[in-house]
Structure 1
Amino acid sequence: MSITVRKSEPADRAAILALMQASTGEHLTPEQRAEQGFVQGVMDEETLTRFMNGPGVFLAEEDGELAGFAMTAEPSPAAGGPVQGTVDAVTAEVPAGTKFFLYGPVAVDARFQGRGVLTKLLTALSRELAGRYALGALFVEESNAKSLAVHRHYGMTEAARFAVGERWYVVFTFEPATFAERTD
């Protein structure tokens, strides 16, 4: 079967929230979380709706079944936490006025991992957003070894490192125009 990507709709909220909750790795040991990857944060329907109303939430599906998602958002002037650390790091590194979006959270259902789902999501969202944004930016907690490896594999730029409390994060940036050229 073939994986397709589209922007989410209101009817997709329950499936997205379920996959996000399943991807937090709360039931795993720290070692298992590092190896398998995890999604940070808590998402409710109101927050998800804000993501959906921004640049968008992109869904990968196979025969109508959710395989994964990638959320995007405009930087918020008072986001707090790792989001604020990411915004601060990017704005310190790029020329004033550079328009960028935040990428993440992202999750791929375990049953679909290893099938190019993330590549399809990145390509599709980059094609959609390349004309409006010069950069995409994301943060990955340093304890999330799988996510660090994945984003390094894609050749994203490690732009900064910062801490929030006891947790350390890596900021990655990428040019959506570059990913838009991929041929899945």
Structure 2
Amino acid sequence: MTILVRRSGPADRPAILALLDGARGLDLPPEERAAQGFVQGSFDADKLARFETTTGAYLAEDDGEPAGVALTSPAESAGDGPPGRTVEVARAAGLTEGVFLYGPVAVAPAHRGQGVVRLLLAAVAEHLADHTAGVLFVERANEKSLAVHTHLGMNHLGVFTHAGREYTVFSFTPEQFRA
């Protein structure tokens, strides 16, 4: 198994959209969804193109097969909802310059537990080394994602509630994951 990570392009969109859609876990009972982790929101080719043309979408492949994906976007494009609230928490914590949003992240079921998220983070760190910090939000019900990002040593910045759901905000510096 050799997993390589690269910045994605238009030809990768169908595979990435399938990974993201498969990681939503909408058909799972709540307990299993929390244990396996899940991606929030829905994505289409146009939305994915916006990620690709800014800070980037990163695709992990194992012998040409999609193993995982991480999306990033400029903090300035956060808008409303959890992304915007995440940026507010980051700014309140003193992260005001050079911040990007990290996520969502999805790993194919056959590649979970094999370090794919760390490989994705290393690629993000290389491409966005000129940034001060990445910030992300994880719904508190997403036990797997909370555990993964805590295990990776990300900094807990705070919490917020949006539409009745609680979220944890994490941050990291690109240096933490540069190879």
1:119 aligns with 2:121: no
> What CA distance in whole angstroms lies between the structure 2 residues aligned with 1:27 and 1:165?
21
Secondary structure of the equivalent of 2:76? coil
Secondary structure of the equivalent of 1:104? strand
Query: CA separation of 1:32/1:122 partners in 2, compared to 1, >3 Å: closer, same or farther?
Result: same
Secondary structure of the equivalent of 1:173? strand
> What CA distance in whole angstroms lies between the structure 1 residues aligned with 2:143 and 2:78?
28
Aligned residue for 2:164? 166
Q: Is the 8 A contact 1:126 1:179 kept in 2?
A: yes
TM-score by length of 2: 0.97
Q: CA deviation at 1:124?
A: 1.4
**What is the identity, as a one-letter code, of the residue corresponding to 2:114?**
R
Q: CA deviation at 1:78?
A: 5.9
Q: Is the 8 A contact 1:7 1:57 kept in 2?
A: yes
Q: CA deviation at 1:99?
A: 1.0
Aligned residue for 1:41? 41
**What is the identity, as a one-letter code, of the residue corresponding to 2:135?**
A
Q: CA deviation at 1:76?
A: 3.3
> What CA distance in whole angstroms lies between the structure 2 residues aligned with 1:94 and 1:37?
29
Query: CA separation of 1:77/1:92 partners in 2, compared to 1, >3 Å: closer, same or farther?
Result: farther
Any idea what the Cα deviations from partners look like across 1:33-73, whole Å, max 9, x if unmatched? 11000000011111100000011101100111100000000
**What is the identity, as a one-letter code, of the residue corresponding to 2:17?**
L
1:90 aligns with 2:106: no
Q: Is the 8 A contact 1:13 1:48 kept in 2?
A: yes
**RMSD of aligned C-alpha atoms?**
1.1
**What is the identity, as a one-letter code, of the residue corresponding to 1:13?**
R
Map 1:101-116 to 2 at 5 A.
101-116=100-115
Q: Is the 8 A contact 1:134 1:177 kept in 2?
A: no
Secondary structure of the equivalent of 1:76? helix
> What CA distance in whole angstroms lies between the structure 2 residues aligned with 1:70 and 1:177?
17
Unaligned runs of 5+ in 1: none
Query: CA separation of 1:77/1:123 partners in 2, compared to 1, >3 Å: closer, same or farther?
Result: closer
Query: CA separation of 1:78/1:141 partners in 2, compared to 1, >3 Å: closer, same or farther?
Result: closer
Q: CA deviation at 1:179?
A: 1.1
- Structure 1 outlier segments of 4+, above 2 Å: none
Query: CA separation of 1:73/1:166 partners in 2, compared to 1, >3 Å: closer, same or farther?
Result: same
Aligned residue for 1:100? 99
Query: CA separation of 1:16/1:153 partners in 2, compared to 1, >3 Å: closer, same or farther?
Result: same
Aligned residue for 2:153? 155
TM-score by length of 1: 0.94
Q: Is the 8 A contact 1:5 1:124 kept in 2?
A: yes
Unaligned runs of 5+ in 2: none
Secondary structure of the equivalent of 1:17? helix
Q: Is the 8 A contact 1:82 1:164 kept in 2?
A: yes
Query: CA separation of 1:129/1:95 partners in 2, compared to 1, >3 Å: closer, same or farther?
Result: closer
Q: In percent, how many aligned pairs have the same letter?
A: 48
Q: Is the 8 A contact 2:95 2:133 kept in 1?
A: no
Secondary structure of the equivalent of 1:34? helix
